[in-house]
Structure 1
């Protein structure tokens, strides 16, 4: 199935509820980088917290690769900045810092296998157990970014450690796939209505100032989220694709 047909079908998935993602338990959101949680799952996080459901956020990479040439923000400073931005964004969505775990794997080189990936998988399983998680969401394995695919692979490693855990994927960079990219299966999953949380989600995205503004202005090669990409994530729903066991 071509990517353009797959994504069009994903946009027509039936609407579901939080319970369809997590059952009666809590939920773990896995974000490859600081900001992916706000883009792909900001509405979900706000919906869970508004309903009083347990939710934990795990950020996989250290985020230090977004501005590699900045002198004002060398890697350690950039990591600290992006973590502060994540805490601020999460607070807008009513998620406290005590519910956020930063794994700090290298941005741009998150492993999909080997000891570091296995350690990350065990950490994810531990966080899932801490909130009696019934589900986990992670970026789509077809996202054209190595860290997004690696995060999906790490969750696959964690899955056997959490029997019965439901796994869903959320596309981030997948929306930019070339239309003729072949995707093996037709989409299964759901759309979640997040229209009630749109304003909070937009504030959370914009809390990641290093990614959406010229806050870091001394690296002409630094990353900045394109306005059209931000707009793509400010619709009335979020998409969660079922990941088969």
Structure 2
């Protein structure tokens, strides 16, 4: 005689508590919440655009104050230093701080960046001549131009972030470009996007293009440097623990 097994549903001796149903938001409250979020976003965008315009204006004025040739390098260094300060502290530096940094680093900035700008101009001239001579030669010189331009973009951020001797900035920037191709590709695409937008809408150069380029390149380079510092410090941690 086979045994029959029956499945009895599991019962609970205590009644289950009633489910707590959160109160529904009224339509007016939901719309108010969405409106508040949109307003916050709009204010943040407006503040960011205003900051970029301020950097743009400061760079142009300080460059003109130095007679363009001697003014653009300290203007770039001052703009990068102020963008770095804003990223670190969250507050917008005043225009007076731009001028103070420009004046303090005037000769050091020119000593670092002005010779590099001259070399960049010569390399770009060589690239235009190579285009007429040979495609292969133009490709080789074009790569040199790209490395030189990216190293030039790195220099002001490198100066703002690290205190090393003036003669070490250019080799350090060049080495960083060659050893971090993926990061440099992202930086190149960002700079290219600003250039393309400026070509399509030339008025942007007067108002926001330079400020946007300085802000975005500074943020990217600082993140690259931070990652590189952590990567270099990582192998030292196990050694320190073992000792």
Normalising to structure 2: TM-score of the pair? 0.23
Q: Name whichever structure is richer in helix by fraction.
A: 2
Q: Name whichever structure is richer in strand by fraction.
A: 1
Normalising to structure 1: TM-score of the pair? 0.23
